[in-house]
Amino acid sequence: MAKSVRGLYPGSFDPLTNGHLDLIARGIKIVDELVVAVLRNPDKHTMFSLDERLEMLKEVTAPMGNVRVESFDGLLVEYAARRGAQVILRGIRAVSDYEYELQMALMNRKLNQDVETVFMMPAEQYSYISSRLVKEVHLLGGSIRDLVPSVVVERLKAKTPI
């Protein structure tokens, strides 16, 4: 019987975007189970609390069969080992992402050679979307409707009515 592959898709997801969703949809085609792992980052200021980020991801991924949403702290590779994940999934939108992603992938490989990083490209219409720009555009009154799921639009509006 073929080995079952568990993938880990880590990130801050502050908040999740349509680009993240596109990557999750691509990821579940190549692994048997995908764990979306939200970083619990007490040092980093986030707009959304950990619970809020988890809730939004859970709501949006609920119709997808083989996706779980969890949180983690500490080293990603240690979390991957604890969860029995063989693959770390990361998205690369443009060449500018590559350097940081390469550095992380090689550091993670140095720390644990049993976990492979797999890069996937989101659809090109999402290549300019980032959580940071979504927040900035919203705070400055621009429309983010095509950039994030509707639950995120509603949560952003509730948090920062404009």
Annotated active-site positions, please?
A: 20, 44, 93, 131
Give the CA dihedral 56, 57, 58, 62, nearest 10 degrees: 110
**Which strands sit side by side in the sheet containing 116-120, from one edge to the other?**
67-72, 33-39, 6-11, 87-91, 116-120
* Residue of closest CB approach to ligand PNS: 11
| Binding segment (CB under 6 A) for ligand PNS, from list 6-14, 47-55, 142-150, 154-162 | 6-14
Residue found under tokens 């080992």: 81
- Please tell me whether residue 104 binds ligand PNS under the rule CB under 6 A: yes
**Of residues 48, 108, 126, 134, which one binds ligand PNS by CB under 6 A?**
108
H/E stretch holding 136 reads helix 131-139
76 binds ligand PNS (CB under 6 A): yes
> If we measure between CA atoms, which residue out of 152, 94, 156 comes closest to residue 126?
94
Cβ distance to ligand PNS smaller for residue 2 or 95: 95
C-beta of 161: minimal distance to ligand PNS in Å? 26
CA 112 to chain centre: 21
Instruction: Out of 10, 15, 91, 149, name the contact with ligand PNS by CB under 6 A.
Output: 10
CA 158, 14, 122, 72: dihedral to nearest 10 degrees?
-130
Instruction: Please give the residues from 115 up to 154 whose contact with ligand PNS meets the rule CB under 6 A.
Output: none
Residue 107 in contact with ligand PNS, rule: CB under 6 A: yes
Angle at which helices 150-159 and 50-61 pack, to 10 degrees?
A: 150
107 or 139: CB nearest ligand PNS: 107
Positions touching ligand PNS (CB under 6 A) are: 10-12, 39, 75-76, 104, 107-108
